[in-house]
Amino acid sequence: MTGRDPEYLAFLRRRLADPAESGESGESGGTVQDARREHAADLARSPRPPVRTVRDLTVDGPAGPLPARLYLHAPRTPAPLLVYFHGGGWVLGDVDSYDPVVRALAVASGVAWLSVGYRRPPEDPFPAAVDDAVAAVRWAVRNADLLGADPARIGVAGDSAGGQIAAAAAGILRAPGPCRPALQVLLYPALDLRAVPPPLPDPDGLELPRSGVDRALRAYLRGTDRTRPDVSPLLDPDPAGLPPAVIATAEHDRLRPQAERHAARLRAAGVPVTLVPGTGLDHGFLGWGAFARRPAEGIAAIGAAVHDALTGVPDRPQHR
């Protein structure tokens, strides 16, 4: 395990020293609403890069309309499109708070992104979020013209908890047909929910905040069998049928080993996989590209991999 780039390490130390810093744990000592506000305030520190077209809309969900935001940075339409589900430990996060993250991914990749707000626990436990994700992908395919998207190149994406939701949706939608995702993009995803993995040894001696993932998982799953493949996609019994994947990791993230195992299982089953290693990076780096060079490089690498996978053209998109 390598150490961190000095500039990036200095940023992390400043971040950890800030008493307002809030992770994805949902463990703030207050209410769930307090934790959601703190998480949104943390993400609001990130700049919102300019994107050619940003438009709010609603998506038909199984229990009612879902909020969504379309990002079109591609110079031409119809464009490849990714239906994206935010992180936040299942409990936190929403479309607006993750706006800086999706803008950065849209600029880096040059493809369209549709960020969809899903139902969250404790109000709506599993399988609400996964049901919403499946419905959102199907809606995007049906409404490709409205979105300026190519219906043959619509994929699913998510980071962290959203990566688990995206992977579960890809598994459900795997059958050949118009709604089968062209690609699944899993960004430091949670893929094995049987237990919270232990933290990795930290080469720089950083003391990370206490994790509240156990509590979030209990709220999300409420006793659901954790070995189900729509809960723990790493345990899918038939990975050969899954869509191609771009999987990005962060070296110092406790979720990295399970993402690497998932990539290896997919490859062994004959599924095309691009693994983007986040060398020297930590969970959450998608929101930090404006603060240090190393996270910006990681986002650029993800964007290039997504662009290549969805366009078949091995070059980088034009950034603005």
Angle, helices 99-109/293-311, rounded to nearest 10 degrees:
60
| % of the chain with per-residue pLDDT over 70 | 94
Distance separating alpha carbons of residues 278 and 282, to the nearest angstrom: 8
Q: Residue 186: how many CB atoms within 10 A of its CB? A: 28
Global pTM exceeds 0.85:
yes
Distance of CA 18 to the CA centre of its chain: 25
Q: What is the mean pLDDT of residues 236-261?
A: 98
Using alpha carbons only, give the angle 304, 308, 309 rounded to the nearest 5 degrees. Answer: 115
Amino acid identity, residue 267? R
> In the prediction, which pLDDT does 27 show?
45
> In the prediction, which pLDDT does 19 show?
60
Which domains does the chain show, CATH number per domain? 6-311 (3.40.50.1820)
Beta carbons of 97 and 44 less than 8 angstroms apart: yes
**Residues with a known catalytic role:** 160, 253, 283
Distance separating alpha carbons of residues 307 and 79, to the nearest angstrom: 11
Question: For 152-211, how does the pLDDT look when each residue is reduced to its tens digit (9 = 90+)?
Answer: 999 999 999 999 999 999 999 999 999 999 999 999 999 999 999 999 999 999 988 877
Question: For 16-45, how does the pLDDT look when each residue is reduced to its tens digit (9 = 90+)?
Answer: 998 665 444 444 458 999 999 999 999 999
> In the prediction, which pLDDT does 29 show?
59
Beta carbons of 158 and 186 less than 8 angstroms apart: yes
Beta carbons of 184 and 245 less than 8 angstroms apart: yes
With H, G, I as helix, E, B as strand and everything else as coil, classify residue 214. Answer: helix
Q: What is the mean pLDDT of residues 301-320?
A: 75
> In the prediction, which pLDDT does 24 show?
45
Q: What is the mean pLDDT of residues 218-246?
A: 97
Distance separating alpha carbons of residues 255 and 309, to the nearest angstrom: 23
- Measure Cα distances from 269 to 72, 129, 256 in Å: 34, 27, 20
User: What average pLDDT does the chain have?
Assistant: 93
Residue 87 has pLDDT above 90, yes or no: yes
Residue 282 has pLDDT above 50, yes or no: yes
